[in-house]
Chain A
Amino acid sequence: MARSSALPVETPLSAEAVPAKAEALSPDVQEGLARNAISFPDGIPGFEACRRFVLLTSDALAPLQRIESIEGPPAAFLGIDPRLLLEGYRCKLTETDLRALGADGDSPLLWFAIISEADGVLSANLRAPIVINPQRMIGRQVLPDDGLYPIRHVLTTKA
């Protein structure tokens, strides 16, 4: 069930503060990343080797947020709360999902639909959102069996 995402992850990082290349990270930034790391125990389909991510926010990108791997192959996703795109969006979490997230039915959770681009058209994956439990700093991509929402919910058409 979709719940309020008003609870921010502790000390949100600024997207501008993190240089593009990992080698360029100062110790301060590295420590910040480690402190804000969200573990994805099952990885993300297609990026199974990435188990730790951070959530990056910036005024310029809001309400979009970046979800970047800090371990394994580089991976950066753009996400948006699906409830901002579709009023009444509800994605049911299974017991398996809740257990993996260390959450119960009442835990406040963060929800992200991953944004992708194909041929200049941007779309959001409403079918399989990323869910984060900020209290435990655990995340997971939920793969519901029912096809209630589209994988490609179109946000913009080609200019």
Chain B
Amino acid sequence: MLVFTRRRHEAIRIGDRIEVRVLRVGRDGVRIGITAPPDVAVHREEIYEEIRQANRAAVAPQVDLSALAERLRQP
């Protein structure tokens, strides 16, 4: 892992299209601004991980779905 020391308003560039800038440094957290092209997905890690785990748990539920399908067909 590359490790940098950055002060407020200083930035890191990743390639020629991505910029990561330190906006504010507080006692409990650091506010970071990311500039990236639209085709680069940027997510908070915990959100991505939560969705990832939900997807893993979602594969082919081993339950009888006909009852659920029947119920969902009701208006």
B68's contact among A95, A128, A155, by CB below 8 Å, is which? A155
**By the criterion CB–CB under 8 Å, are A75 and B59 in contact?**
yes
A64 interface contact, C-beta 8 A:
yes
Main secondary structure of the interface of B (DSSP, over half): helix
Given A75-B59, A151-B51, residue A96 in contact with residue B38 (CB < 8 A):
yes
Expressed in whole angstroms, the minimum distance between the Cβ of A92 and any Cβ of chain B is: 15
Which residues of A lie under 8 Å from residue B71 when comparing CB positions?
Answer: 156
| CB of A141 to closest CB in B, whole Å | 7
The answer on a CB contact under 8 Å between B72 and A84 is: yes
Per-residue interface assignment for chain B, residues 47 to 74, with 1 indicating a CB less than 8 Å from any chain A CB and 0 otherwise: 1101111111111111101101101110
Cross-interface CB contact of A122 among B50, B59, B61, B66, cutoff 8 Å: B61
Chain A, interface SS category: mixed
Q: Is A115 touching B58 in the complex (CB atoms < 8 A)? A: yes
Also in contact, A45 and B55, with CB within 8 A (given A78-B65, A145-B44, A151-B50): yes
Contact assessment for A62 and B73 in the assembled complex, using a CB-CB cutoff below 8 Å = yes
B61 in contact with A96 (CB, 8 Å): no
Instruction: Please name 20 further chain A to chain B contacts, defined as beta carbons within 8 Å, in addition to the given A46-B53, A99-B38, sorted by A numbering.
Output: A42-B41, A44-B55, A45-B52, A60-B66, A61-B65, A61-B66, A62-B73, A63-B73, A84-B72, A99-B39, A114-B54, A116-B57, A117-B61, A125-B58, A128-B51, A128-B54, A143-B48, A145-B44, A151-B50, A152-B54
Can you identify 30 A-B contacts, CB atoms within 8 angstroms? A45-B48, A45-B52, A47-B55, A61-B69, A62-B73, A64-B65, A64-B72, A75-B59, A76-B60, A80-B72, A95-B38, A96-B39, A100-B39, A114-B55, A116-B61, A118-B57, A122-B61, A122-B63, A122-B68, A125-B55, A128-B54, A141-B55, A143-B41, A143-B43, A143-B47, A145-B43, A145-B44, A151-B50, A151-B51, A156-B71
